[in-house]
């Protein structure tokens, strides 16, 4: 076979592969009939189309080009072809894994108000996706190494000592294995989920990202706290949205013993009825402590989530302080003695 014929065969096989790939993708698009799923499937096909096209093209080229065509080359063409094919299969599998996550998460709205189940599924899918991708990469790397005959022979000879090597590697990589297993445990037991409100190391924030080795906590002031994933297995922490996002908030006011509590109770009701952050569930005002000079009044209110609870507590605190200042300033707590004005004994008038 001369040079021109080989070039023509190569170009023709590539062209046939491109045509077949486009036909397959077009046929898959025709199968999408549900308009609500069209956007999702288009994203999926966009992920899968490129590696799928290369696989089809490579398959057509390997079939169309006759055997022995690359025998004169200084490198083994079959090994190169096998490695490229393994890379493409790995690419396709990773795209399929990410597409699987899109399909599952499409059924759950993470932006809804009551998104506990959606966050649970999303957390599991993120961790499972990363674990599967790592496994696919390791498998593809191992298969590519086995394409070389010398490496394959060395690998077969080392199988007898694989047990001892595994023990040595296990001792050396205890920390990495612990992180990997902690990722599994968090994915299925779920002490934390994506977008959970937590208090970690005295910082209040949201779970922003969960990886196989660390967790990113977005602090309320936009800082990021990076915590090893084993932290949430080994140490106690607060999770404010473990079962529900509803939360109670408290406001403390200190007044003297002459203050009318019932008047403040009525004022609290008026404040909450005009506050959009209040969910209408809890409205309680009680005297919770009596000190030497003052009594402690606690307002207990409820909100749909922690950000709304914070805003509601700030609003209630400001309004109650304003109420005491304007209506009952004489009952503000004092730490000094107030003396009456001195009176001139002769004129009977204040000095």
Higher pLDDT, 348 or 225: 225
Residue predicted with more confidence, 65 or 98: 98
Dihedral of the CA atoms 106, 111, 116, 119 (nearest 10)?
Answer: 60
What local confidence, expressed as pLDDT, does residue 33 receive? Answer: 53
Q: Is there a domain that residue 190 lies in?
A: no
Residues 155 and 253 in one domain: no
Q: What's the pLDDT score for residue 159?
A: 45
Q: Is residue 347 part of a domain?
A: no
Contacts of 232 (CB under 8 A, 6+ apart): 182, 186, 191, 192, 215
Q: Read off the CATH number of the domain in which 281 is found.
A: 3.30.70.100
Residue 264: its pLDDT value, please? Answer: 93
Q: How confident is the model at residue 272 (pLDDT cuts 50, 70, 90)?
A: very high
152 and 254 both lie in a single domain: no
In this predicted structure, what is the pLDDT of residue 234?
85
Q: What is the pLDDT of residues 284-296, one digit of tens each?
A: 999 999 888 889 9
Residue 270 has pLDDT above 70, yes or no: yes
> Where residue 158 falls among pLDDT bands split at 50, 70, 90?
very low
- Is 295 inside a domain boundary? yes
Structure confidence by residue, pLDDT tens digits, 191-250 = 888 888 899 998 999 998 888 788 999 998 889 999 988 888 888 998 888 777 788 899
Q: Does residue 276 lie in a domain region?
A: yes
Stronger pLDDT, 140 or 260, i.e. the higher one: 260
> How sure is the predictor about 185, in pLDDT bands with cuts at 50, 70 and 90?
confident
Higher pLDDT, 55 or 201: 201
Per-residue pLDDT band at 49 (split at 50, 70, 90): confident
Is 174 among the domain residues? no
Total-model pTM: 0.55
- CA–CA separation, 307 vs 204, rounded Å? 11
The total of structural domains in the chain comes to 2
Work out the mean pLDDT of the chain and round it to a whole number. 76
The number of C-alpha atoms within 13 Å of 249 and in the hemisphere containing its C-beta is: 24
Beta-ladder partners of 303: 247, 278
Q: Decide which of 109, 141, 159 is a domain's last residue.
A: 159
Domain of 261?
247-331
Q: Are residues 252 and 155 in the same domain?
A: no
Residues 8 and 152 occupy one common structural domain: yes
Q: For residue 43, is it within any domain?
A: yes
Is the pLDDT at 1 greater than 50, yes or no? no
- In this structure, is residue 278 part of a structural domain? yes
Q: Sorting pLDDT into bands at 50, 70 and 90, what band is 88?
A: confident
Please say if the pLDDT value at position 117 is more than 90: no
Q: Give the residue with greater pLDDT, 142 vs 268.
A: 268
Residue where one domain finishes, among candidates 126, 159, 192: 159
């Amino acid at each position: 076979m001369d040079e021109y014929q080989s070039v023509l065969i190569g170009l023709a096989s590539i062209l046939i592969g491109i045509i077949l790939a486009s036909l397959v993708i077009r046929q898959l698009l025709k199968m999408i009939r549900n308009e609500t799923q069209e956007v999702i499937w288009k994203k999926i096909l966009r992920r899968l189309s490129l590696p799928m096209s290369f696989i089809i093209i490579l398959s057509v080229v390997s079939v169309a080009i006759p055997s022995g065509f690359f025998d004169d080359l200084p490198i083994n063409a079959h090994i190169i072809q096998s490695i490229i094919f393994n890379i493409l299969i790995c690419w396709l599998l990773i795209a399929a894994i990410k597409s699987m996550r899109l399909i599952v998460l499409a059924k759950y709205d993470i932006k809804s108000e009551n998104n506990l189940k959606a966050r649970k599924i999303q957390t599991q899918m993120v961790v499972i996706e990363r674990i599967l991708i790592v496994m696919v990469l390791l498998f593809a790397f191992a298969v590519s190494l086995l394409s070389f005959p010398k490496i394959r022979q060395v690998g077969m000879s080392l199988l007898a000592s694989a047990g001892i090597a595994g023990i040595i590697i296990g001792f050396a990589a205890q920390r990495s294995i612990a992180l990997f297993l902690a990722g599994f445990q968090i994915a299925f037991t779920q002490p934390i989920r994506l977008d959970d409100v937590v208090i970690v190391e005295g910082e209040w924030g949201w779970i922003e990202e969960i990886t196989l080795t660390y967790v990113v906590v977005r602090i309320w002031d936009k800082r990021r706290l990076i915590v090893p994933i084993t932290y949430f297995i080994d140490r106690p922490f607060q999770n404010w949205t473990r079962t529900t996002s509803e939360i109670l908030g408290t406001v403390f006011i200190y007044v003297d013993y002459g203050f009318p509590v019932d008047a403040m109770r009525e004022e609290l009701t008026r404040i909450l009825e005009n506050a959009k952050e209040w969910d209408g569930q809890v409205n309680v005002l009680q005297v919770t402590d009596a000190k030497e000079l003052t009594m402690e009044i606690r307002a207990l209110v409820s909100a749909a989530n922690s950000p709304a609870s914070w805003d509601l507590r700030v609003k209630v605190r400001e309004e109650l302080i304003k109420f005491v200042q304007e209506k009952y300033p004489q009952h503000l707590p004092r730490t000094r003695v107030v003396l009456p004005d001195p009176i001139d004994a002769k004129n009977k008038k204040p000095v």
